[in-house]
Amino acid sequence: MWDMEWTYRDRRTAAGCELRDVRVTLNITVTLPRWTPTAGASARLARSWSTFLERVQVHEAGHRAIAEQSARDLVAALSSLRGTSCQELWDRAARTATQVVEAGQPRVRRGDEARPDTGGGARTVSP
């Protein structure tokens, strides 16, 4: 699971208003399954579990990469905004942030659907 928080300050300019000091904080939580083999567990089962866990870790690394790219995209998008007034700029910044965050969600879902080797993706892990 991931979430982003963003802050910025505004500065009035001769042309209107611009954002400055744009900061995006990305919080990522990855929860992996755990299994402790019982005394009667076969070596084959233990190997299967190990393979499964490795694939889940790779899959989750993909979620992390998408979240990190979304955070970079948000910094770039907000940093480039300008407005004729600060109110207009704040409104545009709110819409832009929502669009960038929402744009990352389909990438996560597409990644989940494309990975049948990890059960189609853990649907509990989403932005």
pLDDT digits (tens, 9 = 90+) for 60-91: 999 999 999 999 999 999 999 999 999 999 99
Classify residue 127: in a domain, yes or no.
no
Tell me the whole-structure pTM to 2 decimals. 0.76
| Residue 25: inside a domain | yes
Rg (CA), the chain: 21
Number of domains in the chain: 1
Residue 112 lies in a domain: yes
Q: Is the pLDDT of residue 30 over 80?
A: yes
Residue at 26 is within a domain: yes
For 77, the token pair is: 């998008």
**Percent of residues, the chain, with pLDDT higher than 70:** 83
Reported confidence tier of residue 116, pLDDT bands at 50, 70, 90: very low
Residue 124 maps to a domain: no
The number of beta carbons lying within 10 Å of the beta carbon of residue 17 is 18
d(CA 64, CA 95): 24
Q: What is the pLDDT of residue 122?
A: 34
- The whole-number pLDDT of residue 104 equals 82
Comparison of pLDDT for 13 and 123, the residue scoring more: 13
Residue with the bigger pLDDT between 110 and 18: it is 18
Query: Average pLDDT of the chain?
Result: 86
Q: Is 92 part of a structural domain of the chain?
A: yes
